Amino acid sequence: MNIEQRIWTPANSWTPTPLRPPVKPAHLVLVFGSKDLLAQRAQLPELRVVYPGALIIGCSTSGEISGLRVLDDSLSVTALHFETTRVEGAAVQLSQVDGSSFNAGRQLATHLPAEGLVHVLVLSDGSAVNGSELVRGLTEILPSGVAVTGGLAGDGDRFESTLVFIDGDPQEGLVAAVGLYGDNLKVGYGSMGGWDPFGPDRVITRAAGNVLYELDGQAALTLYKRYLGDYTSDLPASALLFPLAIRAEDGVEVVRTILNIDERNQSMTFAGDMPVGSRARLMKANFERLMDGAEDAAQASYDSIGGQSPELAILISCVGRKLVLKQRVEDEIESVQGILGKSVALTGFYSYGEISPAAPNASCELHNQTMTITTLSER
């Protein structure tokens, strides 16, 4: 695998410069950038000229990861030349499936040829998609044993709209995927959090899909605000600091981030499903545990690729972690490199949701507030 990485910023243009075709032609180009830059589309034609035969896919973010740096208002570009791996792209616009995230996942999976499929990387709209339903639709159609990783696009902490693209212009409401094919490709993954629970367990007594209406028979937003105190005035952005841990009847626990609030109905919209009967508990940040979570995710991805340093690691971390870590946000990237090794190329973004199995052979889930890592190697 040959890897080339570049950054574009308004102040410095392309780094390194000049922008020129790589020695080996790229097959796949990953582009993560701020929504404002992607909406302008100014740099994308340049990338299509430099990487003419590549599948170019990307999304808007809440922060771009390139190497050990975490940037805002930039484009992070990673061009990949594979020795033997083949790539296929697919996309579904939510408007084509009546807004159904489940049907979008099913349709996306049917667009990817099944024979020889090793792994699927997904980038999804982060504002209009129910991530749980998207994952459910994908995994219903994809061949057994094919894992899905990826994330939901971001928009800083604004929660207004997000953009995704694949061989075209960035647009809202798009879900895109890359299928990876080939016997020589090794794929690892891991997803861990690092948040502490507080307050009592509550039962979800009324919800519809990813909209939560009642906890313990009380209006969900009213109850939630009691715990936020001074943070209430900054909703929904401040909700990133206080996600909910949801534990289903089978004991499986996932963390959910609030995407929006409805004052009239006193409800909250989450990135994934809120199953009635599940137990919910508030979470809060613990800096050291966030670092431990990043290291644990890196270790899981390292172990699942066979205990060797990968060539590329795609890091998708939740925007809530970035808001908590603040000026120390790059510490979690360094902690990942400490596990994977200094030779690995790092790329990725801060997201509105992360998609990955929690462990090897586990089912794929939507996560929030995690560091999720996908490692690739053709060695």
Q: Tokens 């009967």 correspond to what residue?
A: 277
Strands 147-152 and 117-124: parallel
User: How far are the Cα atoms of 123, 255, 369, 372 from residue 154, in angstroms, in the given order?
Assistant: 10, 17, 13, 15
pTM flag (> 0.85): yes
Residue 123 dihedral angles phi and psi, to the nearest 5°: -120, 125
pLDDT of 374 reads 96
Distance CA 370, CA 92 (A): 26
What is the Cα–Cα distance from 53 to 37, expressed in whole angstroms?
23
State the pLDDT at residue 198. Answer: 84
User: Is the CB of residue 113 less than 8 Å from the CB of residue 19?
Assistant: no
In this prediction, residue 308 carries a pLDDT of: 80
Provide the pLDDT for residue 359. 65
Which value, to the nearest 10 degrees, does the dihedral of the CA atoms of residues 330, 332, 334, 338 take?
A: 180
Give the separation between CA 266 and CA 171, rounded to whole angstroms.
30
The four Cα atoms 340, 25, 351, 281 give a dihedral, to 10 degrees, of: -50
**Per-residue model confidence as pLDDT tens for the chain (379 residues):** 999 999 999 999 999 988 888 889 999 999 999 999 999 988 999 999 999 999 999 999 999 999 999 999 999 999 999 999 999 999 999 999 998 999 999 999 999 999 999 999 999 999 889 998 999 999 999 998 899 999 999 998 888 899 999 999 999 999 999 999 999 999 999 998 888 888 889 999 999 989 999 999 999 999 899 888 888 888 877 887 888 889 877 767 788 888 889 999 999 998 888 999 999 999 887 788 889 999 999 999 999 888 788 999 999 999 988 988 888 899 999 999 999 999 999 999 999 999 998 666 677 888 888 899 999 999 7
Helical segments of 8-76, H only: 35-40, 44-50
Interatomic CA distance for residues 102 and 107, integer angstroms: 9
| Residue 12 CB neighbour total at 10 angstroms | 10
